[in-house]
């Protein structure tokens, strides 16, 4: 019991570190958004197409994270979930968050920023999952180590899909996950707002990216 408690505390610490690092990344993203702009003119086809693709990625992220929450049921880190989205990816919530991060980057109308944001967030999650996997391996033993060997860390392997006939759904968890994910949508008015401010010269532009 003591070992389990210690591992649960470790997982909580990892979550705090993850949120803190992501906050720093978000602040860096705000700096880029405020003082940089896309090489492609605002209102042009390329700029608008990148933003539209980004919007689709953000919606996909919101729906994907909410879908994952249906299977969590408040049991994350307490019970090994290995069905539904968790049967094809060990970290589907992270996977959808990476997609959402790319969508946020795309609101700048830049291909480079889109991929850069996604790569940075993927790198953070990739590093943090090592500690999470070590703690979960101690919690769940050989069952988790078998799961670790079978299922990819992020990108889904659809051939592994397994499901159940019924689910115990926690509406509070589902609602919280949905509304948390909706925060990604803030990037849309922010991106448009700074495009406008740059256009009228109210905010200086120090660099451009394609």
- Tens digits of pLDDT across the chain (210 residues): 333 333 444 556 656 666 666 666 666 667 777 777 788 888 889 989 999 999 999 999 999 999 999 998 756 556 788 899 999 999 999 999 999 989 988 988 899 989 998 998 898 888 888 888 888 888 888 888 899 999 999 999 999 999 988 888 889 989 999 998 998 888 888 888 878 887 888 878 777 778
Half-sphere exposure of 207 (CA within 13 A, CB side): 8
> 2-29+44-203: what fold?
1.20.120
Q: What pLDDT was estimated at residue 75? A: 62
- 154's CB contacts (< 8 A; 6+ apart) are 89, 90, 91, 94, 95, 98, 122, 125, 126
Q: What pLDDT was estimated at residue 26? A: 66
Listed by start position, the domains of the chain span 2-29+44-203
Question: How many CB atoms lie under 10 A from the CB of residue 87?
Answer: 22
Q: What pLDDT was estimated at residue 66? A: 95
């Amino acid at each position: 019991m003591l070992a389990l408690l210690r591992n649960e505390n470790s997982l909580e610490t990892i979550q705090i570190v993850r949120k803190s690092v992501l906050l720093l990344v978000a602040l860096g993203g705000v700096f880029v958004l405020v003082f940089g702009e896309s090489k492609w003119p605002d209102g042009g086809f390329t700029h608008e197409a990148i933003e539209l693709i980004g919007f689709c990625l953000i919606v996909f992220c919101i729906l994907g994270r909410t879908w994952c929450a249906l299977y969590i049921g408040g049991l994350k880190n307490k019970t090994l979930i290995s069905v539904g989205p968790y049967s094809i990816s060990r970290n589907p919530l992270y996977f959808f968050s990476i997609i959402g991060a790319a969508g946020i980057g795309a609101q700048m109308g830049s291909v480079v920023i889109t991929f850069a944001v996604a790569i940075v967030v993927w790198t953070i999650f990739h590093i943090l999952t090592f500690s999470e996997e070590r703690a979960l391996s101690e919690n769940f033993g050989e069952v988790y180590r078998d799961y670790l060997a079978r299922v990819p860390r992020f990108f889904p392997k659809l051939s592994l899909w397994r499901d159940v006939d019924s689910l115990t759904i926690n509406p509070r968890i589902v609602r919280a996950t949905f509304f948390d994910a909706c925060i990604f949508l803030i990037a849309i008015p922010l991106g448009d707002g700074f495009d406008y401010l740059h256009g009228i010269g109210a905010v200086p532009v120090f660099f451009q990216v394609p």
